[in-house]
Every structure is written in C-alpha cells, then in structure tokens.
Structure 1
Amino acid sequence: MSDRIAVGAIAGAFGVKGEVRLKSFCADPPAIADYAPLTDEAGTRTFAVTLGRAVKAGFAARIEGVDTKEQADALRGVTLFAPRDRLPALPDDEFYHADLIGLEVVDTGGQHLGHVRAVLNHGAADLLEISGPGQSQPVLLPFTRAAVPTIDLTLGRIVADPPEGLFD
C-alpha cells in the first residue's frame, strides 16, 4: 500500500488573478482542503490549498505562492497527494484506488487472470483495467460485488467472477 494517496488535480488557471481550477477525487469533494498541505507525485513540491467557490468540475482555489494566471497555468496537470495517515479510515467494503493497483486477479477457480493496472471511472461505475498473459489489450472488469466478490489486501489479490467471455 502506498503511503500517499492522490486526492485531486490542478486543471489549470481559473481567471486572471492566480486562482486554479481544482478537481477533487475525494468522496466528499471539499474535504480535499482538510488534507493540506498537499504534495506533487514526486513529493518534492508542497501546496497549501485554500478552497474558494464551487465551479464546474471542481473548485476555484488559491495556492500559496501562486499569484498570476501564468503561474496557475504552469501547474495544470499536477496531481495532488495527501499522506495516507491524514485520510479517514474506510469501511471494510471500501478501498482506495491506490490499494487496488498492482493486485493479482484470479478467477473463482484460482486461475491467474492478470494484475490491476488502473481503476477507471467514466461516469457510470468503476472499472478495473486488468493486464494479463496472452492479452493483446487490457480487459475492463466492472468493479461490482457480483464481478469482484473478494478483495484480500493482505494476500495482495482479487478474486473475480467475470462475465462469461470477458477473458477469452
């Protein structure tokens, strides 16, 4: 498990006075401010974030030291991370996406299907992107209780019951 979790991303400048458009990945979007200061992926830059008003697809936010549109635009695409110990504990049936990436995926009979490369969400529900032996393209497995009945972080594996033909 990672010691840092992605909690948001900077989508670029918002206006001309140094505000940024901030996308929150948190279940409670305004909670991203509770985890500040945030860091970049490498952990080399720190960002003190103050949320402003809600805007389309996120928040207008201020980042300490960012005073111009050009400085805000230069941060476009930066993913923001918080230390895991600042985040809330999750119920038994919920997981941080970072904890799922890299897990082995086996079917209900124990046959190796691959490893989780990413957790995607295109609006309707989460999908596990799984790469495995003999696959020319990754397989997208619905992340539902029916298709993924067991997740064992201790053993580092997921037991999947995929729809018929998905891994053929």
Structure 2
Amino acid sequence: MERRYVPVADVARPHGVQGELRLRLYNEASDLLLTRPPIRLRLPDGSARDAKIVATRPVDKALLVRIAGIDDRDAAEALRGATVCVPRDAFAPLSEGEFYACDVEGARVMTPDGDLLGHVRSLQSYPTCDVLVVERQGADSIEVPLTESFVSSVDAERQVVQLATLEGLV
C-alpha cells in the first residue's frame, strides 16, 4: 500500500543565502519535523518531490530547515509556497481514545438516531475547545464542539463520529 502523506507546514520563504527555508508550521507545538522524517514537497505548480531534511532549528513560531540539494537562495526561492508533507506512519503513537485531526477528516458524522449528518471537513482549534467542521449535503456546514456533550465517540479507524445530541447544532 502506498504511504499516506499529511501536510504539516508551508514553505514561507527562503532564509539567508545558503538555502535554508523558513517553514510555517500548522501546529506550532509539534516537534515532528525536528526528528527529520522523510518529506514530500507539494509544489505550487501541482508537482511533488520527495526530499530529505538535513538540519532543523526552531525560531519564533517557525522552523528553519535545510533540505538536501537546496544549497543557495535561488533554489530555496523555487520552493516558496510549497506544502511540506510527512508520512502518516511517522507520527508519534497515540494513547487509547486519542486521534490526529488528519485521521478524522472525511469521517462520517452520525446523528444520535444513526442517520448520516455529513462528513468531517476539518478540525478547528478555538481558545475554548476544538470543533469538527461538518460538511452537510445540501446545507451549510456546521461546527460541532469536540466535547462529551456533543460527541459520544470518535472511531478514527472506522472513520465514524457519533454525535450525542443535535441540540444547538442544527
């Protein structure tokens, strides 16, 4: 089976003249790229290429990286706007009941009665709680707070989110 790659950062811009790249991390708290996993760069023109991180260093709310073969500012500039993707199997293992946002994107969202409400489009983090953005067929998307009051279970492996209630949502 082909490896699944998950977007984790964007190339914001070159840094310096020796080919370093400044990455804008999707999750600033993540140290995944510090472990230098294999990466796939999705370029703005739609093409993709595999690459190897050879050095990393954190800086204020970003990460500076050196990629093998990118040795000057011009080569780094050519990667501006690229998306940095990491194999899903490079993510740290989780405890029982935990999941990564990428593992529930596309999951079916079921009502308390067992009917399909829609599919998870994304997970958004707000100061008070995380929410699942649920895309519904023929209706506006809704945000479902990821709390026990609204979500009774999340089965990332089966791609099913079971709601506890619809009250206050639709």
Aligned to 1:157: 160
How far apart in 2 are the matches of 1:35 and 1:124?
32
Higher strand proportion: 2
Q: 36-45 or 81-90: which moved more?
A: 36-45
2:101 is matched with: 97
CA 1:154/1:21 → structure 2, altered by over 3 Å: closer, same or farther? Answer: closer
Deviations along 1:111-156, one digit per CA (max 9) or x if unpaired, are 3211111223356543211111331x32122223332220123443
1:130 equivalent to 2:138? Answer no
Percent sequence identity is: 29
Q: Which runs of 4+ in 1 moved over 6 A?
A: none
Matched ranges for 1:19-168 at <5 A? 19-25=20-26, 29-41=30-42, 44-121=48-125, 125-135=129-139, 137-161=140-164, 164-167=167-170
Kindly provide the amino acid, as one letter, of the partner of residue 31 in structure 1. L
Aligned length: 165
TM-score, length of structure 1 as denominator length: 0.79
Question: How big is the shift at 1:85?
Answer: 2.8
Secondary structure of 1:72's partner? helix
Distance 2:148 2:99 in 1: 13
Q: For the Cα contact (< 8 Å) 2:130–2:145, is it kept in 1?
A: yes
- Partner Cα separation in structure 1 for residue 134 and residue 112 of structure 2: 16
Q: In structure 2, what is the Cα distance between the partners aligned to 1:165 and 1:17?
A: 54
Structure 2, unaligned runs of 5 or more: none
Shift of 1:45: 0.8
Shift of the 27–104 alpha-carbon distance from structure 1 to 2, 3 Å rule, reads same
